[in-house]
Structure 1
């Protein structure tokens, strides 16, 4: 039951998310916090931290561990088997996989990523969400490091062939007609198939929040320096074939939150190309904040309203 609650909370199929991001702080005070995400990562201001080394990606190569893909009205979400785990990389704990989802724009070249790097917005962004191993639902949402999210920019590169893994994934996406529709992935692709083209030692780290209401400040963010490069036809699937409401013809587009003013320091990994080489710093850990009882009640509400 607890795992279901966490997935529902992280799934964020919320009616409230349909409200324009500019209105979120008025509706949800947490969305006006000091550690909000996404942010613009200014690489020359990121402090090099040599403790931010290689990750251990456990079971990321297992194709059967990507179970279902679902249209949530706000994005497409792939549920992950919790035997997939994330370790090291300067994290203070082990994390188990929960889901991944994506953010995109309205057309080729319009921009659609949530994070920007040195002011540059990518075409899309992939978020792989993990929860800290061994924590109850209450504690996950009471700690600034309750969740660990890996963020990957996706860039269109003209003239390259279609990536087989991403092509297989987008073939299935075309069958998601409306909110709530889902498909079983049936060993179609592994998580590592989708990200293996990226140098996974080059990344930036900061403490931030979820990028949808209630914008809980519980996320250790890792944003990778190198993008996943895809053919335009693969990216087009997201803003051309997915609908908020197919009957009305309204397409699911521009599902990203603009960059926020996060006051926390950004750290660069040992392998990052650009950084301030001023010392090891720390990896952004902090003290718990928030109202865990309220968060638990909201998660239960999502369960019973599904």
Structure 2
């Protein structure tokens, strides 16, 4: 497993081309994979069925935000579950070789518990990573709205303003926005439809707001500088409020360790007195 993990993966040209296609074509395109072998059989036959049976469509938005597939999550869940199920038995075998013979029920019970915990562990990891990625994309969206407003102030057209603002940074969030704009342009649609699709895929509704504003500007030629700056200011206020809430929650969580530390310190001070009173 270590050797397979360290082996460089061969790029899949079909998957790379499908990324540049519209969302409808991407969902309808067949998964072309000419590879052969056990791994290819798992990817084509077992993992899609497992993803459907496990109901992993509920993670579709989070997985698209992380550029992962439901089959990848299904492989993680099954692999982690098998590891958690087998590890206690493997450890029991080592103890048996060392001369210890624990009861058979212990590895079975521990294996079932660990298998269940490890099976649901990738779900929590995906939710946490998706929440972090969504927050990063939302912060980048705030900066992007300001840049689009400045481009509009410089008399740039709607499409030109969106493209120029997205080309300012090389961060992954801006790269995702550029990919969405490029997809829309290659499909022969207005650039702001790419932002709407990206907002739908990632759950960052602020991108849809920018798309709506720029659509109005593109159709009617409306002046949207003030509207964009107001949206950016509102988004920054929301982000600041969320960060303040997270900081307050972290401060409240620190109350318990500090209280336990104080109780341990008081017990350490009072211990000699209690020993003297109880035992003379």
TM-score of the superposed pair, with normalisation by structure 2 = 0.22
More RCO (CA 8 Å, sep 6+): 1
Larger Rg: 2
By percentage of residues, which structure has more strand? 1
By percentage of residues, which structure has more helix? 2
TM-score of the superposed pair, with normalisation by structure 1 = 0.21
